[in-house]
Amino acid sequence: MATYEDQKRLARDPDPEVRAALAADPATRPEILYFLAEDEDPAVRRQVALNEGSPRQADLLLTQDSDDGIRTDLAAKIARLTPDLPDDRRTALYKLTVQALEALAEDQLVRVREILSNALKDVAKAPPNVILTLAKDRSLTVSSPVLEFSPVLSDADLLEVINSGPIQGAMNAIAKRQSLKASVSDAIARSGDEEAISNLLANGSAQIREDTLDFIIDRAPNHLLWHEPLVMRPKLSPRAVQRLASFVAMNLLDRVQKRLDLDDETLVAVADAVEKRLAEDTKQKLAEPQWAEKDDLDAQIERLFKTGGLNAKALEKALAQGEKRFVLKALAKLGGVPVQTVNRIVSNRSAKAVVALTWKAGLKPHFAAQLQSQLVGLGPTEIVRMDENRWPMSPDAMQWQLDFHAEPSHVV
């Protein structure tokens, strides 16, 4: 083993490989490693960053290193050593480690913060302020791991993140947490984040109060993504089942009937709801359509178009009454496309083309979700998910969809 004097001499050796070897040696004295942390050669400084025997003072110095790779290696090392921190937060080792983690949690390089987040996501001893900084990060790859898994985050921390206007996707991670408390579930439910609410409903360990579930069910008819996780929620009340039965697809009601965890009262409610829906469907099929004759239907659409009544409200009413022929012809009229093109889109069950048709007809993006499910019959996993006020494709891409489904003679 080299003596202290030998190490001092090697630390000043003109050959960087000699200095790097010294920096990598776990037997090198802490003060020598601190000296090498400021070496002009990045290869030497990297070895100090990798050396688990380096003093925290040297690590703290390296958090400001200009070399991205060095800070990345440093983040991985310190995060790896964090579970072994002393319980006494008053020690110099604890304080210096926290300072280094704080600096790395705010590093300009996303990769450094990602490494830190993934390494600390399940570490119970991780400093709370560092975890909260990572949880609020504006990069989802940084915030998501700790938001979903970190045991350090309190309910108050999670509510703070939710109420701070987090980036898209952050609430999804929170919604997937194990044993989520009711107060946090309520905040997610009232956020209006469709995907996060879907994840919340699919999280069987999440506590959801009955009034919160009622709040979600009130809004569920227009959110297909929620239907399946809603009907599969554990401990559904008979009242909730009856409400769900009024709008979810029959195949989902069939799945509810096959559940083994529901009590007799709830199963009776499901059976009654299914029987009622079947009776309504039969009655609707036997009823004379409102616009039975082709000429009357065309004339009705033309009159509505001229008076400004051919709009989303009219189409929603027709969908509710099962008047699909009216909806098809109305979309063709509003979009200025041949009825044959509309029929071809529906027959092909093309979700993207339905979105394009909705856009061409001058309707709002959210209406495309209704058309995909109620007109075409697509399931929650088949539809193109819609933003409330933004189309998921460019105008050129949507026009391409329409051209693709048009007859050759109708393509310009």
Within 10 angstroms of residue 170's Cβ, the number of other Cβ atoms is 24
Q: Fill in the DSSP letter of residue 82.
A: G
Q: How far apart are CA 350 and CA 326, in angstroms?
A: 19
Q: What is the pLDDT of residues 205-257, one digit of tens each?
A: 999 999 999 999 999 988 888 999 999 998 888 888 888 887 887 788 778 77
Q: What is the pLDDT of residues 80-108, one digit of tens each?
A: 999 988 877 778 989 999 999 999 999 99
Instruction: Give which of 135, 140, 59 is closest to 104, Cα–Cα.
Output: 59
Residue 388 has a pLDDT of: 63
275 pLDDT tier (thresholds 50, 70, 90): confident
Residue 281 has a pLDDT of: 61
Residue 408 has a pLDDT of: 58
Q: Annotate 196-239 with DSSP letters as a single string.
A: HHHHHHH-TTS---HHHHHHHHHHGGG-HHHHHHHHT-TT--HH
Contact, 93 vs 50, CB < 8 A? no
Residue 248 has a pLDDT of: 84
Q: Fill in the DSSP letter of residue 124.
A: T
Q: In whole angstroms, what separates CA 36 from the centre of its chain?
A: 44
Instruction: Give which of 385, 411, 381 is closest to 399, Cα–Cα.
Output: 411
Query: Which tokens in the block code for residue 348?
Result: 């092909």
Return the minimum-mean-pLDDT range out of 173-177, 191-195, 379-383: 379-383
Average pLDDT of the residues of the chain: 88
Residue 287 has pLDDT above 70, yes or no: no
Mean pLDDT, residues 278-293: 52
Question: Hey, where are the domains in the chain?
Answer: 294-410
Q: What is the pLDDT of residues 126-139, one digit of tens each?
A: 999 999 999 999 99
Q: How far apart are CA 347 and CA 3, in angstroms?
A: 83
* Better-predicted residue by pLDDT, 383 or 66: 66
Residue 33 has a pLDDT of: 97
Residue 292 has a pLDDT of: 42
Contact, 316 vs 362, CB < 8 A? no
Terminal alpha carbon distance of the chain:
83
Residue 411 has pLDDT above 60, yes or no: no
Phi (first) and psi of residue 322, to 5 degrees? 75, 20
Within 10 angstroms of residue 57's Cβ, the number of other Cβ atoms is 17
Q: Annotate 7-47 with DSSP letters as a single string.
A: HHHHHT-S-HHHHHHHHH-TTS-HHHHHHHTT-SSHHHHHH
286 pLDDT tier (thresholds 50, 70, 90): very low
Return the minimum-mean-pLDDT range out of 175-184, 193-202, 379-388: 379-388
